[in-house]
Every structure is written in structure tokens, then in C-alpha cells.
Structure 1
Amino acid sequence: MNVMTMSSTRMLRALPDDHRARLLRVAREVTIPQDTRLFEEGGRANRFWVVRSGTVTLDMHVPGRRSPVIESIGFDELVGWSWLFPPYVWQLGAVATTPVRAYEFDATAVRSLCASDPRLGAAVAQWVGKVLAHRLQSARTRLLDLYAPYGSGGPR
């Protein structure tokens, strides 16, 4: 794997150099064919990805209906956060809607690295937390656009 190429992604640059280098040692480059399900809601969260190219959609199981798309994830974005929080169960499902090239990380190995180095653990938790905060704000805006009488009204 070319670590220099991997370290150039904006998402991974959010980590300090030494932490990023340690994290990249447990990553591998993967190609995911279109229409491949990466994980199912309720399944064991044992991996996560940073997208290099292509699109992954996050969906939610709705009994008796087709799973609605919650969000689309693309270049340089994190796919999967449930691996970081016990009980390590996916909260959503994910499918590659185009061919995807990504960096895949073994969650058990990353959690082990984080446990052995609290500074690395804090950096990874902050990285994932920022992604979650951004997605929560995006979901809030989408809900306001759908259900509020005057839409989101833009930033306050």
C-alpha cells in the first residue's frame, strides 16, 4: 500500500502525522463492486472505510418497505462509525451505488491501537466525532427542509 497516497486524503490529514501513520498500517486498499452491500443494520461493526472514489449510500431498514436512503457518502468521507462504540453494531446499512475504491480498516485492530495509546484513541475519537457532528447537522437541515413550515431558513 502506498502510505504517501493514503496520507494525502483530507480526512486522514485531520489526524496528527504519527497517529495517521500508525492507523494506516492497519488499512488496506479495496475495490467494492457496484450494488455490493457493505453492511446491514444490526450486523457486527468490524470494519470502516474512507472512500477514494465512488458513492456509498446509507440506508435504514423499514419493515415491509424498501430501505430508504439516509445519506450518500463520496470521495474522502468516512463510511461507518458504529465500530467505535460498544456494542459495535451497525446503526444503518450501506451499499455501494457505484464502483468504490476505498481504504478499509480493521476495527478490532484500530480499537486495539487506540486502547494501547490514549492520545491516538482521543485523536481517532475526535476525528469520528467531528464526522458524526457534521452528519447530524446535515440530517437536521434535511428534516427542517422536509417538515418545517418555511424550510431550514438557512444558517442562523
Structure 2
Amino acid sequence: MSLAQEVNFTEGTRLFEEGGAADQFWIVRSGTVTLDMRVPGRGSTVIERLGPGELVGWSWLLPPYEWCNGAEAVTPLRTHQFDAMSVRMAMDADPAFGLAVGNWVIRVLAYRLQNTRARVLDQYAIHGSAETV
């Protein structure tokens, strides 16, 4: 937490855009933020809602350090903001810290991947079919 600073966002503020430089990340203290992605022919679509205690942004951890999606505060948002380069340097300097942070981000990604999979299956499943996926 010594690498964090408290940063607040007003409702409607864009935290980042898909394709932009992923040079920071946040942990939500209070409020709600949505993650969105551009869908050709449809514009942006919300893919996740995040609240207190949740990680906003993971693209800072892996090259090329570009956001894979966008994020927007949907309520007033209070966060702990981290400078990505400082955290990566701290991870390199302390392998135990680096492993702990890396494992944490992987767990977050795995959880979100499973949620996304469930939403996609629900959206594209043949409702009322006896077939199983």
C-alpha cells in the first residue's frame, strides 16, 4: 500500500480506453466501475461491473502494457491507485512480493474468465434444448 495513492473519480469518468497505455491500476474502495469493450458494429458493451475491494485493470502486468478493454465510473468512485511501473519494479526487487502479486492477478483473471464464459454460454445457448454443452 506504500505504492498507492487515494484517487477519486466522479460518475461518468473514463479511467482508461481500450488500446491505451496501461500505466496504472486501481483497487476500488467504494463505488462501482464498469469494464467495457468495443464490439464491431455495436459500439461499446459492458462486460463486467466491479465494486469495493476489486482490481480494476490487469493489462499493466504484461507487455505490451496496453488496455484490453475500457473502464468507466458509474457511481462516484473512491480508489487506491497504483503506478504500474513502480509495482513491477517492486515485484522484480522482491520475488516473494512479485509471486504474491502475480498469483493474485491470475486468480482475478481466472474468476473473470469463468464469469465471462458463463455469460457467453447463457447468451448463445439454445434455450429449451435438451442438448448440453
Q: Which amino acid aligns with 2:84?
A: A
Paired position in structure 1 for 2:56: 79
Decide which of 109, 119, 122 is 1:142's aligned counterpart.
119
TM-score, normalised with respect to structure 1: 0.79
Q: CA offset at residue 64 of structure 1?
A: 4.9
The DSSP-based 3-state class of the residue aligned with 1:75 is: coil
Paired position in structure 2 for 1:42: 19
Superposition misfits of 4+ residues, deviation over 6 angstroms: none
Q: CA offset at residue 63 of structure 1?
A: 4.3
Distance 2:116 2:40 in 1: 22
The DSSP-based 3-state class of the residue aligned with 1:95 is: strand
Q: CA offset at residue 141 of structure 1?
A: 0.7
Distance 2:78 2:2 in 1: 18
Distance 1:29 1:66 in 2: 31
Q: CA offset at residue 65 of structure 1?
A: 3.4
The DSSP-based 3-state class of the residue aligned with 2:43 is: coil
Paired position in structure 1 for 2:81: 104
* Larger RCO (alpha carbons 8 Å, 6+ apart): 2
Q: CA offset at residue 144 of structure 1?
A: 1.1
Paired position in structure 2 for 1:115: 92
The structure richer in strand per residue is: 2
TM-score, normalised with respect to structure 2: 0.92
Q: CA offset at residue 61 of structure 1?
A: 1.7
Structure 1 unaligned spans of 5+: 1-23, 152-156
Note the aligned Cα RMSD (angstroms).
1.3
The DSSP-based 3-state class of the residue aligned with 1:68 is: strand
Residue deviations 1:43-63 (CA, integer Å, cap 9, x gap): 000111110111110111234
Q: CA offset at residue 119 of structure 1?
A: 1.2
Distance 2:117 2:127 in 1: 14
Number of residue equivalences: 128
Distance 1:136 1:89 in 2: 19
Q: CA offset at residue 150 of structure 1?
A: 4.6
Residues 1:33 and 2:10 aligned together:
yes
